[in-house]
Structure 1
């Protein structure tokens, strides 16, 4: 069957002739990567309600209230990750035919990139990092687990529409290794049994493309660094296209691993510096965190009536759960939803829009001594400095800044090759790395203290200063 030319557009349109258009690719014009063409298997997934839901989830959650340009959503990010995943795996196939990467492998990698964020809740990391631990602490809810459930649901729904993704993928090659759907889910959420990959056990390097557990260098970061910097107005000094250009798969300790040219070391360090910069300037911006705490409190107060946390346990209900819950709570009076919790929640959200935010009192660096202390006692310690203060007046968060591997250098797990020997992986000793690139430490934590009451601002500020002095004067 002769394929028509790809259709350019922001989303695919219902075909007039389903049979002839089933194998039609689609092209999306993206401000970051330009024209991105997707295989019809991916288009089938893109056109599902579960994927379209990502249009209504802000990529940076509450940061939109701090950076007005940060209005981009997880929909376009997911398209970008799929696009870059395809670019990287195709580059490896072209440069190294002996790796035996086939079209089936490529599509599985692209689908994993496309679907990796399906399980995010409203306001992204706020949902699983702040809201769910308090609403359902016993469930240990993670968006990666929900992503797998959403993907399974999509596969079953497509099967009802006479589109069996598993059969379609199997028809592309005679390769019988592993299960394609298991492979896709392992790339997103890791194997069920640690270290035991069932999808592509002979091509473990493919697991480093979407979510790299070895050193954190993956296309997910490539896209959100470029996309977030673009919308935030922050410069991105990392060039992901250079990394893709120089990436090669080589044997490292009896396993095949993605490596890069030795001259690319500075570019990789720039990637981790960019990550750290984004966390400092945006992701963990003190005002952003104040707003996140307020949205969390609003969601918790509204949960009894809106069943937000309950919806997180069911794929059908979760499909309807988006950032739109903010508007639902804010305008609940207009819809005659007037429970006490909703009214209080609406007032909190109205305060965000009126810029009556939780007040940032200050921050102190977390020392070894503070790590050993019980964080839960800090609020009571702050409250004791004035009789008008209560524990509930304070909110404490810990801001962590690192390269993605806690206190370790992720570059320790990255191997290189030289132009003169492209088939041998090497390590570059730390002493041969420019000191301009290496930080003294790879992780630091700051304790941030907020006051919820506008009326107690000055008293709470004095309490924080005294508390900080006591903590700073103690043994480190």
Structure 2
């Protein structure tokens, strides 16, 4: 049985059909897609790939399935469902675009939607049908999208899926920061299979003894978003990259339906055809745009600015109008307001010490932190509206907010 050496989890064993999936060309592409996009321009160690992360998620899922089996939790879960959830963990990021999530912010289909053709067709689809089941690709796609009725769905997509556990610890380690500490063993061994109190369906839940470990996951995620994923220089590089690719799509240098086939460097090379743009040169030489104005989301209540996170055509108009107002050229001012729905959301069955099953959603439990309310407060704290400019300058915040509110 082949053993792969992993810097986070040490030895990871991969055999049989899982090894065939790993060796398939669509999965091998993930070796050349950085896990954290352009974060390596700020954290030099952040050059790890989606390949490594997917392997880690597979490893944790396999360990968790074994732990649930040993605890007698999976008697009602067919063996095929267990194998499919392990395959889904390995393949959950197969549809990722170059430089990770950034391109999803300019309106291209989400990577979980793109995964459909990669999972159901080509070499991956063939392996899944031959080695798992004729309907395996469709069932794995449902797991990846979070729409499966499998009792193990929560291990792949949910409040405490193992994808999060791997990437938080891996990203923190590779960035050299101390923010990703999670009590992984306690969390895994507190998981159970229960009937959800609202639907009666079997689902992954957590025992009350695991709440402290769940808190560690929540705080790790908040710290990583605040200090790494949404750190100002990382977001500057991301805003530059989004505008660069958007320009490439508008000019026809690249086409949206071809984006998922690129590696990181492959896409940048394609964007150099006909000559590198100033933005591309600035990214390659790490000449990042500077903060000219910023405001935390918590101070923006009452101002409708959510469109900045979703309406790219409107954003470009607003960016270029602001640039003109302040004596800059089009493309020399960028607006950034990241959004991740339910970034710190919690929604899962909780088994209390007296055996009662309830949903951990809008209200906490006596004697513990109100995690759902805290999650929303932390999200507002981590999220900032920022305006970046090609040269260092300071823009008046109130004037900028007034202009954006009327854009």
Shared topology, TM-score over 0.5?
yes
Distance (Å, rounded) in 2 between the aligned partners of 1:151 and 1:210: 15
The one of 171, 181, 184 equivalent to 1:240 is: 184
Secondary structure of the 1:82 match is helix
Secondary structure of the 1:205 match is coil
Distance (Å, rounded) in 2 between the aligned partners of 1:425 and 1:217: 17
Alignment of 1:208 with 2:154, yes or no, is yes
Q: Where does 1:195-274 land on structure 2 (aligned, <5 Å)? A: 197=148, 201=149, 204-212=150-158, 216-235=159-178, 236-253=180-197, 254-274=200-220
Alignment of 1:359 with 2:290, yes or no, is yes
TM-score (norm 2): 0.83
- Greater CA drift, 95-104 or 37-46: 95-104
- Aligned partner of 1:161 in structure 2 is none
1:274–1:414 CA distance, 2 compared to 1 (3 A): farther
Distance apart, 1:219 and its partner CA: 0.7
Q: Where does 1:4-43 land on structure 2 (aligned, <5 Å)? A: 6=1, 26-43=2-19
Distance (Å, rounded) in 2 between the aligned partners of 1:282 and 1:59: 12
Distance (Å, rounded) in 1 between the aligned partners of 2:162 and 2:225: 18
The one of 121, 128, 137 equivalent to 1:153 is: 121
Contact kept? 1:249, 1:257, Cα under 8 Å: yes
Q: How many correspondences in the alignment?
A: 386
Contact kept? 1:302, 1:329, Cα under 8 Å: no
1:374–1:62 CA distance, 2 compared to 1 (3 A): closer
The one of 129, 136, 139 equivalent to 1:183 is: 139
Q: CA RMSD in A?
A: 3.2
The one of 441, 457, 473 equivalent to 2:377 is: 441
Distance (Å, rounded) in 2 between the aligned partners of 1:58 and 1:431: 39
The one of 394, 411, 419 equivalent to 2:333 is: 394
Q: Deviations over 1:139-193 (max 9, x none)?
A: x5221111121112244774xxxxx5324324xxxxxxx94332211101244xx
The one of 16, 31, 40 equivalent to 1:64 is: 40
Q: Where does 1:373-452 land on structure 2 (aligned, <5 Å)? A: 376=314, 379=319, 382=322, 386=326, 388-389=327-328, 392-400=331-339, 404=343, 410=346, 413-418=348-353, 421=355, 424-426=356-358, 430=364, 432-435=366-369, 439=374, 441-444=377-380, 445-452=383-390
1:323–1:93 CA distance, 2 compared to 1 (3 A): same
Distance (Å, rounded) in 2 between the aligned partners of 1:122 and 1:372: 27
TM-score (norm 1): 0.72
Distance apart, 1:205 and its partner CA: 2.0
1:400–1:298 CA distance, 2 compared to 1 (3 A): closer
Distance (Å, rounded) in 2 between the aligned partners of 1:86 and 1:373: 39
1:379–1:468 CA distance, 2 compared to 1 (3 A): same
Alignment of 1:322 with 2:280, yes or no, is no
- Aligned partner of 1:299 in structure 2 is 245
Secondary structure of the 1:399 match is coil
Secondary structure of the 1:112 match is helix
Structure with bigger RCO (C-alpha 8 Å, 6+ apart): 2
1:385–1:166 CA distance, 2 compared to 1 (3 A): closer
The one of 131, 138, 154 equivalent to 1:168 is: 131
The one of 360, 368, 373 equivalent to 2:301 is: 368
Alignment of 1:78 with 2:48, yes or no, is no
Larger radius of gyration: 1
Distance (Å, rounded) in 1 between the aligned partners of 2:98 and 2:48: 14
The one of 106, 109, 114 equivalent to 1:141 is: 109
Distance (Å, rounded) in 1 between the aligned partners of 2:110 and 2:401: 37
Distance (Å, rounded) in 1 between the aligned partners of 2:320 and 2:254: 31
1:450–1:156 CA distance, 2 compared to 1 (3 A): closer
Q: Deviations over 1:341-370 (max 9, x none)?
A: x332xx323323434221211211342322
Distance apart, 1:69 and its partner CA: 0.6
- Aligned partner of 1:309 in structure 2 is 256
**Structure 1: stretches of 5+ with no match in the other structure:** 1-5, 7-25, 134-139, 159-163, 171-177, 192-196, 313-317
